[in-house]
Amino acid sequence: MRIEFPTVPMPDELVRAEARKRQGMVLKPAGSLGTLETLAAWIAACQAQSPPRPFRRPRIVVFAADHGIAARGVSAHEPAYTRSLLAAVREGGAALNVLAEAAGAGLRVEDIAVDSDEGGQFKVRRGCGSIDVEDALSQTQAEEAVRAGIRLADTEVDEGADLLVPAELGVGASTPASTLVAALTGTEPVAVIGRGSGIDDNGWMRKALAVRDALRRARPVLGDPVDLVRTAGGADLAAMAGFLAQAAVRRTPVVLDGLSAAAAALVAEELAPGARNWWVAAHRSTEPAHALALDHLDLEPIVDLGIGLGGGTGAAAALPLLTVSVRLLAELQPS
C-alpha cells in the first residue's frame, strides 16, 4: 500500500505576526536580538500562541543503522564500530548524552537496521545494502522503515513531546545521505563529498566513486521518494523521513541536526510538501552536502559551530538557544 500523508498544516501566521509585534514593543532596539527573535516567532507560530510556552518535553530520537557501503572504505571506522557507538549512547557515555542532559532533553535510541542479532520493535533488517551496486532496502522494507518513523513520531507526540530532534547513528551514514542530497538537488558527486568521520584523500576518492555509482542508480527513481530511499538511502534515512513528515502533520516543531537529518528532510518534504515549515536548522556542519540541503529547503542555520560529528550533537548544543528565545519574548519588559 502506497504511503500517503495528510495535507500538512501551516504554523499560525497570525500568531507569528503577534509575536513580531510584541518584540517591537519590549525594552530593546527593534530587531536587535536577531535570530533569537526569528526563533521565538517561529515557535509561537508552531504553538499557535504568543508568547509561546517553554518547551516541557524536548526529545531526541536516535535512528541507528549499518550501511553496506561502509565496507568500501568510505569511513575512517570499520563497520563494526556502529555497535560500539550504539552501546556508548545507551550507557550514557557519548557526546550526545552529555549535550542532551545539559539541554534538558530526553533521549530515545532505536535500532532500525544495525547489523546485529539484536531485535527491536522498529528494526527493519540487519544492515542495509551497498548502494553503489545494490538497493539499500527492498520495497517492503523501505515502506516498513518509513512507517516505523511515523509510529515513532506519533508515540513521542502522544507521550507529550513538544519538540523533536531526529539523529542518526551508524558508520558510513554520510555516504547515502550525500547521495540523496546530490539526487534531490541536482548536484554532482564531487560537490557533495566531505571528510565525514575524518577520511584521508584516498577515502575521499572512494567515497566520491561510491556516491557517483549510487547516484547513477538513483536517478531513474527520483520521482518517488520511497523508491529513492529504497535504492540509494537506508532504513535509518527512510525512518527519519517518515518521522519528520509525521511530526509536521502532528504540528510538532523539529530541530534538524546535520547531514543525515537534512537528507532525510529533503525526502520528507517530497513525501509531505510543506513539512519544512515545522523545522528549524540547528547548525551548519562541515559537510558540503549539508549546506546544499539547507539551501534547497530554504532553512537558515541558527549557529555555525564547525561541528562535523553529526548524530544529533549540533542540534542538542543549539537547543538552549530555543529556550532562551522563548523566555526573551515572554519576559522582557514593555518599553
Domains, the chain, with CATH or none: 13-52+326-331 (no CATH), 58-320 (3.40.50.10210)
Give the percent of the chain with pLDDT over 70: 100
Span 170-214, pLDDT tens digits: 999 999 999 999 999 999 999 999 887 788 999 999 999 999 999
The cell numbers describing 7, all together, are 495535507
Q: How many CB atoms lie within 10 A of CB 101?
A: 13
pTM score, whole prediction:
0.96
Gap between the Cα atoms of 271 and 19, Å rounded: 30
DSSP state, residue 66: -
Burial class (CB in 10 A: 0-12, 13-18, 19+), 158: exposed
Is the per-residue pLDDT at 308 higher than 90? no
As a whole number, mean pLDDT of residues 245-250 equals 98
Span 295-306, pLDDT tens digits: 999 999 999 988
CA distances from 51 to 42, 253, 275, 277 (A): 11, 16, 23, 19
The cell numbers describing 90, all together, are 545507551
> How many residues in the chain?
335
Q: How many CB atoms lie within 10 A of CB 273?
A: 14
Span 251-281, pLDDT tens digits: 999 999 999 999 999 999 999 999 999 999 9
Span 47-70, pLDDT tens digits: 999 999 999 999 999 999 999 999
